[in-house]
Structure 1
């Protein structure tokens, strides 16, 4: 049975047996369930499937139960409404929710970021060469990669990319297509779409990681993480720690075991071997270091993005709230 079909059936069954039950309310003979909201084609599913197929959830005393949702806003609504125990989201959204009293915390998941891509035959070799050109950007005007690249341009080139280029904003597939067809001269896309672009012969002229380092920021700061609730962690400390261990074990396995990736290939939707290898390399590059997030480094990253993104990005949050980042003791 295809992964998407199987995972959807699991989610449907969960709804029938009482989706809103807390983890400790499961049957006495069954391990407690951790419900995770995810997207049907999201790259988070690669880790979820590895945890479930390898029994890493059972080894750590729980059953990981995916609930397929329609989009990122739907996962956030499900988290806010208590329909799921966790989702994966960026630390800025988690910070906004915590600042508003939601009690959400952030467990590191990925540091994966993209960069600026151009066609293989493009004459552009650096961001300076994009002056007067058209850039396609996935994620909108407050996309985090775009903001860091703008900050780099302002510091190193003395001018804001937003002022000297024309921007086209759109969904990741649209930006990929626009870059391939030459509709835009360069593109900034989500990391897995950038991997597809690279596999199709495009090249990177500036990575967000390099830009962040040049700005004195820590590029190893994870932007994406599992979202957990304070009260859920307090009520289920062993489950929270078990989820962290299972996630880390899955990452360690995928970091070095090519056979584990072959098992995932059917759900990765790679067009060919080159795309498969690029997706695998991109995911591996985003594995965060083992250990807690450096809150001070994260604040510096936040401040850099907030300067250009403004309230549209920050939601009115001036500094990252205390206790935002969680790591098992």
Structure 2
């Protein structure tokens, strides 16, 4: 082969490689979400992944399963993940302490007070002198709202006239079903399972909040992001917000999308499956925009009863706490 032909061949190979490189798009940036392995957030994340909503919005979704809520919070604080789902009170405390965390609405789902189907209890006042099982501890947000509501409605704090048993959600569900407690306040997805098994709700937290003059559309749960990360990756952050909204729109209307999620929903039967689906749908926020005044009012009601154990010493929610996704 002549020198000219060798040079020509080398140039052709280089041009081919350059063309191939030009035709191959760079990999999409990854957003890592830390979440509970069997948590309800997985339903939205799986919908994003299965429907290609991450790629359509300019990112690749990576899910990092973690052992519990404290583990997700530690992962967020340590920078191991880009986002988690947590409640806005935790985000507010972190922000007040100097972290640049902000909150994108995820869910408004809350529970209520559940009793057995054959229970004579019809109202919260009927529980006076009885025993209530509560998931989430003494400063559970639903419990605090119900305590405030009982004071408004009956003049008595239901916390002062009942005995409380605190425990993990499965334990509280079992205690209610077996009659160990007279009523139970549980996380919404356990409440859905309880309803599917024949228990009934005597008052919902949403109704109690409305009676207290609070906005039940104020979301307690949201994606936690960093202001700095949003500023450095505005298109990426907005893509996550859009993908979340698009997944919710699909799950709000498409029953087939739920059929695809059933294997990861831990539903024991059709009734539980339907209750979980309907409960999740009921918690879809009407908007990704939060009214700071409404959130502050909700915070004030809970803080009055929860004290520093709930608020970490905060008296007002910090500025910039909520991000609208835009």
TM-score by length of 2: 0.92
Aligned partner (choices 136, 139, 143) of residue 142 of structure 1: 139
The alpha carbon displacement at 1:29 in A equals: 1.8
Q: Which residue does 2:265 correspond to in 1?
A: 268
Q: Which residue does 2:171 correspond to in 1?
A: 174
Alignment partners' CA distance in 2, 1:289 and 1:229: 23
1:58-101, Cα deviation, whole Å (9 max, x unpaired) = 00000110001110000000000000000000000000000001
Aligned partner (choices 27, 30, 35) of residue 33 of structure 1: 30
| SS, match of residue 205 in structure 1 | strand
Q: Gapped runs of 5+ residues in structure 2?
A: 1-23
Alignment partners' CA distance in 2, 1:175 and 1:93: 24
Alignment partners' CA distance in 1, 2:198 and 2:325: 42
What root-mean-square deviation, in Å, do the aligned CA atoms of Structure 1 and Structure 2 show?
0.9
Q: Which residue does 2:6 correspond to in 1?
A: none
Mapping 1:223-238, distance limit 5 Å: 223-238=220-235
1:191-248, Cα deviation, whole Å (9 max, x unpaired) = 0000000000000000000000000000110000000001000000001100000000
Q: Which residue does 2:99 correspond to in 1?
A: 102
| SS, match of residue 167 in structure 1 | strand
Q: Gapped runs of 5+ residues in structure 1?
A: 1-26
Q: Which residue does 1:73 correspond to in 2?
A: 70
TM-score by length of 1: 0.91
Aligned partner (choices 306, 312, 318) of residue 309 of structure 1: 306
Alignment partners' CA distance in 1, 2:218 and 2:193: 24
Mapping 1:157-196, distance limit 5 Å: 157-196=154-193
2:44 touches 2:247 (CA, 8 Å); kept in 1? yes
Mapping 1:53-68, distance limit 5 Å: 53-68=50-65
User: Deviating runs (4+, > 3 A) in structure 1?
Assistant: none
After TM superposition, the structure 1 stretch with the greater mean CA deviation from structure 2, 302-311 or 28-37, is 28-37
* Structure with bigger gyration radius: 2
Alignment partners' CA distance in 2, 1:311 and 1:211: 23
